[in-house]
Amino acid sequence: MRWMALVSSLGIGCSSITNEKRVRIDGRIDTTDDLPGGVTYVSVHHAWLGEGLLRHPMAFIDATTVEQPGDLDVTFDIPMDAGGEGLVLYAWHDRDGDGVLCSIDGDRGERTGAVAVTPWPTYSATVELTLAVPCAGPETFAP
Amino acid sequence: MLGLLAVGSTAAALSAAPPIHPTAAVLTGGSDPGVWDTGLAAGFPWHRVRAQRGLRNGWTPFVETSAALLTRWRPAVGVSLPWINRVWRLSGEATLGWLEQGGTLSERGPSASLAMTMGRTRGVVLPYLHAGSEHTLHIDRVIIDTAAGDVIEDAPRHGWTLTGALGLGIALGGRWGLDVGLDLPWVNVPKVSLPGVHLGLQFGGAR
């Protein structure tokens, strides 16, 4: 593996070079319902990505989970080469624990919400997000 | 691999045969001892240049460069050895090279290949068949801009390309020849590759 590290260290030997920015987002996620427990799915999206006919909002980047609505402290690596504009944090509370937002046979009242991470780009940001909209996908919150 | 190649060295060294034509030498992987042979092939999308010189024990070291659409280049050094060396020849060859592909799908890295070639070595019409396996080490680098400075993460990736070709060589006199061939590579398995065609020119016999 030593020779591989040598080739790698030259830089010119890399097949691809991708630039990312690591952002730590802390703060709090609350929900308007009073049902306890359940996992909250948290994802980050480019507010807009692409050009012309391919331009679209809320382009998915990465996701994680937190135990339940409450304190938030997550870190994401955001691709910087694709030309994505803005950064939005989206979350939904999986009240019935089925891993699906508002599945047909599941809980149809699961709360969602999104908040823009500003300013962007940045290394850290603090957000306050209240999950108040039932069953809304990320695109619903396109800025 | 070298041990496998060596299996045929004794047989190759012992076989007393008339001089091999440069076209057969280039297309079937082996020149007579002390003889230089060269080949140039142009086509769509593949081009290839090769020069080789036979050694006394049957081994034939060579240098070659292949290019697809003049965008995907692979210069390499290698060695070939006939395992069966009669009117029809079966040869093995190994190469070490560097892959350099430009354009929007750029990639690069050290590569190695193993191949077998079968073809006719006597006569005017010299059919041949080539099959090989080429492996490239790609390194995908991610540079993460963090509050504490840049973090570099390198991930190795294996690239696999199957090489294949079949065609007909034509001996033109003692030192010149040409071939027409069908290129059947499978670049970066399992992605889809299109076949190609080429016209080749061989020259050699010089000591």
| B5: three-class secondary structure by DSSP | helix
Q: Report yes or no: B166 and B129 within 8 Å, Cβ to Cβ.
A: yes
- Which of B140, B145, B157 is facing A22, going by the closest CB pair? B145
pLDDT tens figures, A103-130: 988 888 899 999 999 999 999 999 999 9
- Residue by residue, what is the 3-state secondary structure of chain A? CHHHHHHHHCCCCCCEEEEEEEEEEEEEEEECCCCCCCEEEEEEEEEEECCHHHCEEEEEEEEEEECCCEEEEEEEEEECCCCCEEEEEEEEEECCCCCCCCCCCCCCCCEEEEEECCCCCCCEEEEEEEECEECCCHHHHCC
Residue type, B114: L
Considering only CB atoms, B137 lies closest to which of A4, A11, A24, namely A4
Distance from CA of B152 to the nearest CA of A (A): 10
Mean pLDDT, chain B, rounded, equals 91
B60 contacts B54 by C-beta, under 8 angstroms: yes
Q: Is B135 on the interface with A (CB under 8 A)?
A: no
Are B106 and A15 in contact (CB < 8 Å)? yes
Give me the tens of pLDDT residue by residue for chain B, a chain 207 residues long: 444 445 444 444 444 568 999 999 999 989 999 999 999 999 999 999 999 999 998 999 999 999 999 899 999 999 999 999 999 999 999 999 999 999 888 899 999 999 999 999 999 999 999 999 999 999 999 999 999 999 999 999 999 999 999 999 999 988 999 999 999 999 999 998 999 999 999 999 887
Chain A neighbors of B108, CB-CB under 8 A = 12-15
pLDDT number for residue A33: 84
Residue of A nearest to B158 (CA): A15
Instruction: Compute how many other C-beta atoms are within 10 angstroms of the C-beta atom of residue B181.
Output: 24
Give the distance from residue A80's alpha carbon to the nearest chain B alpha carbon, in angstroms: 10
CB contact under 8 A, A15 and B139: yes
- Nearest chain B Cα distance for residue A79, angstroms: 9
Distance of alpha carbon B31 from alpha carbon A86, whole angstroms:
63
- Return the residue of A nearest to B146 by Cα: A22
- Among B residues 154-183, those touching chain A with beta carbons less than 8 Å apart: 154, 156-157
pLDDT at residue A83 greater than cutoff 70:
yes
Beta strands B60-68 and B36-44 are unpaired
Contact at CB, A18 and B140, closer than 8 angstroms = yes
Whole-angstrom distance, CA of residue B86 vs CA of residue B88? 5
How much is the average pLDDT of A126-135?
95
Longest dimension (CA), chain A: 58
Contacts of B139 in chain A (CB under 8 A): 4, 7-8, 13-15
Per-residue model confidence as pLDDT tens digits over B6-57: 544 444 444 456 899 999 999 998 999 999 999 999 999 999 999 999 999 8
Q: What percent of chain A has pLDDT over 90?
A: 73
Task: Please state, in angstroms and rounded to a whole number, the distance separating the CA atoms of residues B124 and B195.
Answer: 26
What per-residue confidence (pLDDT) applies to A7? 52
CB atoms within 10 A of CB A64: 12
Residues B37 and B202 sit within 8 Å (Cβ to Cβ) = yes
Cα gap A115→A122, rounded to integer Å: 15
Contacts of A19 in chain B (CB under 8 A): 142-143, 145
B14 shares contact with chain A (CB less than 8 Å) = no
Please state the ipTM of this predicted complex: 0.84
Please give the model's pTM, rounded to 2 decimal places. Answer: 0.77
